[in-house]
Structure 1
Amino acid sequence: MSVLDRLGQKLLFAFDPETAHGMSIAALRCGLPVGARTTLDARLKVSVCGLDFPNPIGMAAGYDKNAEVPDALLGLGFGFAEVGTITPLPQAGNPKPRIFRLTADDAVINRLGFNNEGHAAAEKRLAARKGRSGIVGVNIGANKDSSDRIGDYERGVARFAQYASYLTVNISSPNTPGLRNMQAREQLGELLSRVMAARAAATAQPPVFLKIAPDLVEAELEDIAAEVTEKQVDGVIVSNTTISRPSLRSGDTARETGGLSGKPLFERSTIVLAKMRKLLGPDRAIIGVGAARRVSAVRWGIAGNIVIAWIVTLPATALISALTYLAVGLAR
């Protein structure tokens, strides 16, 4: 990280995390030069589910929640960008404060609760970029107070299939009460059946990925793998944030409720990823989400038919300096 990068990060860290996040989005939206253009290296190309990724490092959902800056993120050198999570109706999310930096742990706890502007606002922006190059995934979710959460996912597929390079079905956020219950086999089977039927009926049929939690036990992973295989879902995303608190050093802040992301999640997420690769076999796609800081992780991703979505621990959000603890540097 350069001296200028460090100064920019220090400036952003003077603000609360959510304000800093908004500032970084605004900077990208205005076209400010937050990073140097990258030189593409053909050795980094990865083909997954018919999509040709220029490199295997992408921006995970949670940073660009409302599809405001996907092309700017691609311009920073990311191989793909995933926008969302987007719910049918706008929702404010949980009360503030709801993002907490754990600087000593290179981590963040968030309990945002799918705060976003809803389908209509995101669709307008995605429609405006239709025809542009670059892989942009759309992460869809359910409203907190919805009486038909599976229907919310069907509506997301129907609305965004024509704009998305791929769709992510997010049922693993810990910040929407009851959402993770949809990972249980009976509910999951119905969800995936209806989602895949909605895709078949849509005007385009992008790949569909299921995003799962890192806190699942072996039997639950086996059930998920069985349903993903049976319903012919294209792949899984491993993983969302964790509700566990493994040996954190950040004092009282580490006891905040919500999902933990960043460096402490990497080991658990990698274990779940390895288990899912074994359960799903060598051919079904996996997007690994986590703190992939080392070149060895990139090589591993290329060799293992895995693309890596950098989980911008939202919230450390030093995009102007280093997209949260090194993300832009990794993309370069």
Structure 2
Amino acid sequence: MYRFVFTQVLSRFDPEDVHHLTVRALHLLSVTPAVKRLVHRRLAPRDPALRVRAFGVHFPGPFGLAAGFDKDAGCVEAMSALGFGHVEVGTITAHAQPGNARPRLFRVPRARGIVNRMGFNNAGAGAAARVLSRPRGVPAVVGVNIGKTKVVPESEAVQDYVTSARELAPLADYLVVNVSSPNTPGLRDLQAVELLRPLLAAVKEVADATPRRTPLLVKIAPDLADDDVDAIADLALDLGLDGIIATNTTIRRDLDAAGRGGRPDEHWNETGGLSGRPLKDRSLEVLRRLRARVGDRLTLVSVGGVEDADDVWERLLAGATLVQGYSAMIYEGPLWAHRIHRELSRRLRRRGVTDLREVIGLTATGADTLTGGNEGWRR
């Protein structure tokens, strides 16, 4: 039903207008306690085998909503009720900003992707903190993704991130430093280790000082050279970070765009970050490289090109403890996360697995301890 509605109705409207309408509808769900609790009981992951513990936080399921959808933290309860095991809000900046000029969000349906050049449009860290401090009617694991305010020069970037961290780290289950969006000029330059080290060290000092010590992760781009991926992994270990999120959107357009029907989408070459199916292979490559580099010493969160339970399963086997998605929800609809967790639960039961930890990293380590071997477990 949703695919019919999307094809015949939603796809005819501007994607950002549809997004704002969706956010408003989800906000109504969030402020309707009885409906919110009912939806949560029906759709949230409940199988004990799906539960996973990462950096000291308990997640009801491994699949969560990536940053970018809920920019101002207004949909946390609604998205948790719809079946996401966690919700990462943001990207949030220290100061409110409108983002880039519209149009800035484009569908590329043949490639099952999205191009965006939003530019961190959000109401600022103070506004997000006020929203996140409100009591919740349903359980929710919340990550907070912070980025650099556009008008702040690179020389003041550390203090800008620290300002956001002081506001938001006490309210987050985990905090993410985003230095990998292509839509803020100069932001990706901060991925250079000599610039990234003092930035992460300063934010970590703030996160460590919260009452519960907020776990800190860094989100990286898929366009990094392999040596740079290794360097950031080594830096994360050296600084004692809790994890790495891989990957953000890509500026490349030479990726395999399977499903484009032999001709490019209308908006394929729009300026901005490309997400969705074309990013799948590179995102998985970066995950595997990180796992080979750090083993299980860091929590790896895989995002990029995740469309269904097969993709989530593959990322878990490759070493991700948590998996995120966003773009495919535009094509799959509001029950997407619920369906993924339901299928993961069925797979675990078929294999007699009662603890998701038995699956994480199975193909990455080459272990062959489960019936059927690694090839059988990929399916």
TM-score by length of 1: 0.91
Which residue of 301, 304, 307 corresponds with 2:322? 307
User: Does residue 220 of structure 2 align to residue 212 of structure 1?
Assistant: yes
Q: Which residue of 2 aligns with 1:111?
A: 117
Partner of 2:123, secondary structure, is: coil
Partner of 1:255, secondary structure, is: coil
User: Does residue 275 of structure 2 align to residue 261 of structure 1?
Assistant: yes
**Residues 163-172 or 26-35, more deviating:** 26-35
- Which structure's residues are more often helix, by fraction? 2
Q: Which residue of 2 aligns with 1:13?
A: 11
**Residues 272-281 or 246-255, more deviating:** 246-255
Q: Which residue of 2 aligns with 1:27?
A: 25
Checking the alignment, whether the CA contact within 8 Å between 1:161 and 1:204 is kept in structure 2 is no
Counterparts of 2:316 and 2:274 in 1: how far apart (Å)? Answer: 26
Checking the alignment, whether the CA contact within 8 Å between 1:137 and 1:166 is kept in structure 2 is yes
User: Does residue 185 of structure 2 align to residue 174 of structure 1?
Assistant: no
**1:297–1:101 CA distance, 2 compared to 1 (3 A):** closer
CA offset digits 1:104-163 (Å, max 9, x no partner): 110011001001010111111001136963211000111011131111111122111211
Checking the alignment, whether the CA contact within 8 Å between 1:17 and 1:317 is kept in structure 2 is no
Counterparts of 2:311 and 2:265 in 1: how far apart (Å)? Answer: 30
Structure number with greater Rg is: 2
Shift of 1:203: 3.7
Counterpart mapping for 1:58-77 below 5 A: 58-77=64-83
User: Size of the alignment, in residue pairs?
Assistant: 325
Shift of 1:51: 1.3
**1:207–1:131 CA distance, 2 compared to 1 (3 A):** farther
**1:4–1:102 CA distance, 2 compared to 1 (3 A):** closer
Shift of 1:290: 2.2
Cα RMSD after superposing both structures: 2.3
Q: Which residue of 2 aligns with 1:55?
A: 61
**1:100–1:327 CA distance, 2 compared to 1 (3 A):** farther
Unmatched tracts of structure 1, length 5 or more: none
**Residues 218-227 or 28-37, more deviating:** 28-37
Counterparts of 2:85 and 2:189 in 1: how far apart (Å)? Answer: 32
Shift of 1:305: 4.8
Counterpart mapping for 1:182-221 below 5 A: 182-221=190-229
Counterparts of 2:194 and 2:104 in 1: how far apart (Å)? Answer: 32
Partner of 1:154, secondary structure, is: helix
**1:103–1:298 CA distance, 2 compared to 1 (3 A):** closer
Partner of 1:226, secondary structure, is: helix
Shift of 1:297: 3.5
Checking the alignment, whether the CA contact within 8 Å between 1:322 and 1:329 is kept in structure 2 is no
Shift of 1:252: 4.2
Unmatched tracts of structure 2, length 5 or more: 343-379
Shift of 1:302: 4.5
TM-score by length of 2: 0.80
Q: Which residue of 2 aligns with 1:288?
A: 302
Shift of 1:327: 4.9
Partner of 1:13, secondary structure, is: helix
Partner of 2:327, secondary structure, is: coil
The higher-RCO structure (CA 8 Å, 6+ apart) is 1
